[in-house]
Structures are given as C-alpha cells and as structure tokens.
C-alpha cells in the first residue's frame, strides 16, 4: 500500500536532530523519512541509541527537530493545533513514574480528566488486566504492572494514533502476549500504532511493517516477511564446534548448494540457506572431510535480527550474540 501524505497517520520528511552537550554532539536522527498509513501497526527496530525514542518523541511533539517536516494525523506541531493533536494521540513513554501515592484507578482518573472524551476507566483497567490492582498504590506495583498502567494511560483518550516506546520491556511472557492482544484489538478498531521494541518475535508477530533504524537512519523498511525474504533465503543453519576457521575457507562455504551467506568464526559457522535439506548434508560432508569436530547443530527460520546482521554486520542486541 502506497500512502500519500494526506491520509497518513505519520509523515516524516528529512528529520534531523542533534544533541549538544558541551563539546560533544550526538546525531540522534540523521535525515529520516517515514510514512505510516492509518490502520497500520508499525514497528521501529534498532539497537540502543539508534534514535527510536528521539523519532517517536518528535512525533509526540515533545522534541523539536532541528530540520525536517513532521505531520501527525494531517497536522503539524506548533502551528496552533497542538491540543487537537494531543487529544487524538495516546502516549506511553520509555520511562515514566506516576504519582507514587496515587492508586491505579486514581492515576487513570487523572488522565481521563484531561481528555474531552475517551474510554471509561473501568474498561481500560480490564484491557490491561489491572482490575485487581485498581486500589493498589503506584509505589506497590511491580515493574510490569507499572508498565501496563503506562499503557493504560495511553489508551484512555480513545486515540486514533498510539505511540508505545518499548511497551513490553520488563513484562513476563503472559503479559507480553496480553499487550499484543491490546495492540491487535486497537488496530481492529481502526487505530494506528507505532511501537519500538528490541524483541524480534514481537516485531514479527505484531507489526504490519517495520523500519530498521541504525544511527538515526532507516536502513530497511517493509513487512517482516518481506524483509526476511530480502535475505534471499529464509533458513539458518548454526553449527558449533572447533577449528572451523583454520580448516575451512570462506569460499568453500559459499560454493555449497543453496548457501546464500555465511558467518565464519573458529568455533561457529552460521549459514543462511535457501533450503535446509540440500545445504545441510553438504556442509556436514565438508566438515567430516576436514575432520572438524561438531558439538552442536541447529536450524531455524531467519528473523529480523538476521536482516539487521546482514545489513550492518552487527547484532541488534549485545546479548543476542549467542
């Protein structure tokens, strides 16, 4: 679907933002273009410091960009429509502490009062499964419960456009899935959602399209399936063992049938392959011939993480380098 500026929920052109602290300057967003049509769940993916939060906060009107144009639901910030935009968006910041002594219900009632119209507090409590904690004070909530409360405040105004900055960080698997359901039903009701995440499975399951961001730029854009397909192969073969780099040359790996790309290190080989059943016997035969000892073998579907590695040669998250 090709969106035009008029009907897009978000339209960013040539966005640029630099932070200056003394002599040190950080280019957080470096000429970023992005169009998110209405009705889409859109994911921003990228390593720490890529510029996701900065981009989202520019959209929310919290950060003023140095250059570029920003249209949110067809309107621009600081042109006299700020309150109109704010009453149509819902925001969950990467970190917020609400009033410590207020209960969950009281916090929601406060936010509900800000919106001219919106959803009932009780309904939102149910959506994020915090009904039992309605009378618990903020200071007694667990991290995940606080996170769900933050999401609930974003839903109160019955927004057209929802911004969720790492909404599932710190949530247990069940709460994560619950939150996915929240986003899905929000979309089913016609809403547009933009979220950031470090979790590949989340992006793959939840997002219609994702933008992979690195160093303030969009380096890949499309549906998760399309992006993975762009690797030219959808499977990965991961082999752990010893002496790979000494005994096998990189060119030999590429020459194997159906192998599209590879990563070679002394104790590990990762092959991106079109078809496991032709590539796997070939690589095992090669390993046996060179007397390479194999300790472990796994095959899996390619993920967005692999797309990122393919594009940048780096991993999205340090801890995903297993």
Partner 1 sequence: MRARVLLAVARTTFREFWRSPEAVFWTYGFPVLMAVVLGFSFQPGELPKVPVAVVAGGDAVALLTTLGQEPRLAVQLLSPADADQALARGRVALLVRLDGASPVLRTDPTRPEAEVARLLVERRLLAGPETTLPTMRNEVEDRPGARYIDFLIPGLIGLNLLGAGMWGVGFNLVQMRTQHLLRRLAVTPMRHREFLAGYLLGRMVLVVPEAVTIVLFGHLVWDVPFRGSLLATALLVAVGAFAFAGLGCLLATRARTIEGIAGLMNLFQLPMWLLGGVFFDVERLTGVVRWAAEAMPLTHINRALRDVMLAPGTLLDVTVPLLGLLGFALACFWLALRWFRWQ
Ligand X SMILES: Nc1ncnc2c1ncn2[C@@H]1O[C@H](COP(=O)(O)OP(=O)(O)OP(=O)(O)O)[C@@H](O)[C@H]1O
Binding region for partner 1 (CB under 8 A): 60-62, 83, 86-87, 89, 91, 93, 95-102, 106, 109-111, 113-116, 137, 153, 157
Among 21, 78, 97, 321, interactor with ligand X by CB under 6 A: 21
* Cα distance between residue 244 and residue 248, in whole Å: 6
204 binds Mg ion (CB under 5 A): no
- Within the chain, where are the H helices? 52-59, 82-86, 104-114, 121-127, 143-155, 173-188, 200-206, 224-229, 244-247, 250-254, 276-289, 304-312
Site string for Mg ion, 81-110 (x = CB under 5 A): -------------x----------------
Among 37, 43, 51, 224, interactor with ligand X by CB under 6 A: 51
Using the contact rule CB under 5 A, the part of the chain among 47-55, 64-72, 96-104, 185-193 near Mg ion is 47-55
132-156: b (≥16 Cβ within 10 Å) or e:
ebeebebeebeebbbbbbbbbbbbb
Of 300, 90, 297, the residue nearest 204 (C-alpha)? 300
164 binds ligand X (CB under 6 A): no
Minimum Å gap between C-beta 94 and Mg ion is: 5
87 interface partner picked from Mg ion, ligand X, partner 1, none, CB below 5 to 8 A per type: partner 1
Minimum Å gap between C-beta 44 and ligand X is: 8
* Cα distance between residue 83 and residue 75, in whole Å: 11
49 binds ligand X (CB under 6 A): yes
Minimum Å gap between C-beta 196 and Mg ion is: 6
Largest CA distance in the chain: 73
The site for Mg ion (CB under 5 A) is made up of 53, 94
């Amino acid at each position: 679907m090709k969106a035009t500026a008029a009907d897009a929920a978000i339209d960013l052109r040539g966005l640029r933002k630099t932070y200056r602290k003394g002599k040190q300057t950080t280019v957080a967003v470096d000429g970023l273009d992005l169009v998110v049509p209405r009705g889409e769940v859109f994911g921003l993916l990228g390593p720490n410091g890529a510029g996701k939060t900065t981009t989202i906060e520019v959209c929310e009107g919290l950060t003023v960009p140095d250059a570029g144009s920003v249209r949110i639901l067809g309107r621009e910030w600081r042109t006299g429509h700020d309150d109109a935009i704010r009453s149509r968006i819902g925001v969950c910041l990467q970190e917020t502490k609400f009033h410590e002594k207020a209960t969950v219900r009281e916090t929601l009632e406060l936010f509900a009062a800000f919106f001219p119209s919106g959803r009932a507090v009780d309904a939102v409590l149910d959506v994020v499964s915090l009904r039992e904690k309605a009378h618990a004070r903020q200071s007694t909530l667990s991290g995940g419960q606080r996170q769900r409360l933050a999401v609930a405040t974003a839903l109160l105004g019955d927004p057209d456009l929802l911004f969720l900055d790492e909404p599932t960080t710190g949530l247990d698997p069940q709460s994560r899935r619950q939150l996915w359901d929240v986003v899905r039903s929000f979309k089913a009701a016609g809403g547009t959602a933009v979220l950031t995440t470090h979790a590949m499975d989340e992006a793959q399951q939840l997002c219609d399209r994702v933008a992979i961001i690195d160093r303030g730029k969009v380096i890949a854009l499309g549906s998760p399936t399309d992006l993975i397909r762009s690797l030219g192969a959808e499977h990965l073969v991961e082999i752990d063992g010893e002496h790979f780099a000494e005994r096998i040359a990189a060119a030999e790996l590429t020459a194997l049938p159906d192998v599209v790309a590879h990563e070679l290190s002394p104790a590990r080989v990762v092959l991106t392959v079109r078809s496991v059943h032709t590539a796997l016997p070939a690589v095992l035969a090669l390993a046996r011939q060179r007397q390479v000892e194999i300790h472990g073998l796994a095959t899996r579907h390619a993920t967005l993480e692999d797309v990122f590695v393919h594009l940048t040669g780096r991993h999205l998250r340090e801890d995903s380098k297993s």
